[in-house]
Amino acid sequence: MGRAVDIPEDKLNALSELLKTAGGCVTTDGGFATQLERHGADINDPLWSASCLITIPELVRKVHREYLEAGAGVISTASYQATIQGFQSRGLSTNEAEDLLQRSVRIAQEERDRVWKESQNREHARTARAGSNLRALVAASIGSYGAYLADGSEYSGDYGPSMTVDKLKDFHRRRLVVLADAGPDLLAIETIPCKLETQALVELLHEEDLRIPAWISFNSKDGVNVVSGDSFSDCVALVDKCPEVAAVGINCTPPRFILDLIHAARKVTNKPIVVYPNSGEHYDPVIKQWVESTGITDTDFVSYVHEWRKAGAQLIGGCCRTTPNTIGAIYKALHEHPHVHVTN
């Protein structure tokens, strides 16, 4: 499988063009695994939601549609926990594993195009949802090394004393190339828990010259640091120096911490800020379940949206335990009050 060449120039500007067309702020999608489970999928598997690429790809397609119809302007592929190594552990060949990675992008692209065509073919413009003239972007989801381990270490950043930047680059390299070759609009590098992995990814993006803009998002459990204890501001400053990164942000973090993190990010970067928090619940890596039901309702979640937008967030969605209902409520809130002053 060779490297893609002649990537259209508009790919490089896809995110900035979407934000411009949308008036400065776009809704992203929500918890993919959460919605798969709501439809009855059993994803208690080291591959997590990516297992459905093997077993029930049509459900993956359905969930993409649900988020698009809820108003998502960016949808992420079902590849967060998909890795070549993980697929090989299931007995698949390297070629089969790489095809599944690229299939995750194709499924999202096909459903995006189908929904877009339907919106354009509506006989009367008034029957279309406000803002539906935006053609959504497809972001290839790339989880951290900890996500591959499936031991909850993406929520701690503890990879052990022997982990190095070079080892992390070796882990991520081929998956990044394969996903980029599938031609997504973006690379969504998510739930990065430590500065070491941030350094590895920044170097890798520069080395590979993938010509697909990326965002890198971090998770935090205190509103100051990433989950490893490394400074969130230091991690963002590292990403800010990487021209291949088009946006930076926060995901899978309780909503109550997001505003402070936006303010911290804005002090060290002028890149667009993406935020997609979880519901506020806590993931237990031992029982592999979300527990301590401190989660907030969709209405409560949306009450934060205008503060985040005013502070500088330009892409807003949800992560674990959020649903199309959450995204629909965010979309509605942003479109009911679209003219919000943004602090730079």
Annotated binding site: 252, 319-320
Q: What would the DSSP string read from start to end of 191-256?
A: EE--HHHHHHHHHHHHHHT--S-EEEEE--SSSSB-TTS-BHHHHHHHHHT-TTEEEEEEESS-GG
Answer whether 336's CB lies under 8 Å from 294's CB. no
Q: What is the 3-state secondary structure (H, E, C) of 156-168?
A: CCCCCCCCCHHHH
Q: Which is nearest to 15 in space by CA: 291, 290, 244, 285?
A: 244
Answer whether 337's CB lies under 8 Å from 25's CB. no
Q: Which is nearest to 18 in space by CA: 28, 8, 29?
A: 28
Token pair for 109: 């692209």
Token pair for 70: 């809820």
Q: In whole angstroms, give the CA distance from residue 293 to residue 273.
A: 28
How would you label 65-75 residue by residue, b for 16+ Cβ within 10 Å and e otherwise?
bbbbbbbbbbb
Q: In whole angstroms, give the CA distance from residue 297 to residue 278.
A: 11
Residues placed in the known binding site for Zn(2+): 252, 319-320
